[in-house]
Amino acid sequence: FFASIEANYGENPYHNAQHAADVSVAVHLFLSEHDLMETRFADPVACLAVLIAGVVHDFAHPGTTNQHEVKIDSKRHKAFGDAGILEKFHVRAAFALMRRPELNILAPLDHAGYARARKAIVKAVLATDLGRHMTYVERLNEMAMLEGARSHGTRVNSGQETWTSPFLDPEKCGRDLVAAVALKFADLGHACKKRVLHEEWTARITNEFWALGERERSLDVAISPLCDRSTDIDVAKSQVGFFSFICMPFYTVV
C-alpha cells in the first residue's frame, strides 16, 4: 500500500511523497506529544484512520489549486463542485487504489470498522482545504474563549497560573476535530521547522506555483496569485502574508 501510494503521488516540487511522509510523521508527533495516541486515539480504527489521512491527504496531486480548477472548469471541478475540489480528489484517488485487494490496507477491518475508518479519513483530509481554514480558526477561538479559561486561578510552584485546554477534553472537542487540527497542524508544518528547512519547502511551493502560472499562460487564462514567475518574485513578502493570515492565527489558538 505505502509503496504504491509513494509511486503514484506525483513529481511536483512540493506536493509529493516527501511532503506526505513529512505530514504523516508530524501528525504522529502531534498526537504523541499530547498523549493523544494513548487516550483519544487508543481505538485502533481511529488511530489507523488519522495516520492514513496524513499519508493520502495530497495523493496524486495535479500541481494545481482549487481556484485554478474552478477557473478552467476542469473535469475535477465538474465532478466535485466548487468547494474542496482537490481534497475530494485525493480521497477518491486513494480509495480507488485500495479497491485492489493487495493494496487495501483497511481489508482486515469488518464492515463497521471500514465504514468508520473511511468516514474519519475523508473528514480529516477535507479539513486541509485552506478554503475552510478560517472557519476552523474561528471555531477554535470560540472554544478557547468559552472553555479555555484559567482553571480557577490555580497556581503552580513557578507562580504561573495553569490553564485548561478545551482541545484535549473529550467532552468539549470531538475526535474528528482533534484529527482535523492534527492534519492542519502538520500540513502547514514547514512554517515551524528550522529556517533552512522552511526555506527549502518555500522554494518548492514557489516553483510549483510558477509552473502552474506557466500552464495558465499557455491556456490563455488569468494567472493565479503568486504564480507569475515574472512578477511574483518577492518570496519574503508572500511568506509574511502566509505567516500573518494563515499560520499564526491557527498555531496561536492551538
List residues with catalytic annotation: 15
Instruction: Tell me the three cell numbers of residue 50.
Output: 488519522
* 160 annotated to bind ligand: no
Spell out the residues 6+ positions from residue 60 whose beta carbon is closer than 8 angstroms to its own.
8, 9, 10, 89, 90, 93, 94
For 150, the enclosing helix (H) or strand (E) is strand 150-155
Q: Which is nearest to 190 in space by CA: 206, 176, 167?
A: 206
16 is in an annotated binding site: yes
* 57 marked as part of a ligand binding site: yes
Say how far apart CA 2 and CA 21 lie, in whole Å. Answer: 10
Q: Is 68 within any annotated ligand binding site? A: no
Rounded Cα distance between 28 and 183, Å, is 10
Q: Which single residue is written with the C-alpha cell 515574472?
A: 230
18 is in an annotated binding site: yes
Angstrom distance (rounded) from CA 38 to CA 36: 5
Residue 90 marked ligand-binding: no
Binding site for Zn(2+), by residue number, is: 19, 57-58, 187
Binding site, by residue number, is: 15-19, 57-58, 187, 239
Binding site for AMP, by residue number, is: 15-19, 58, 187, 239
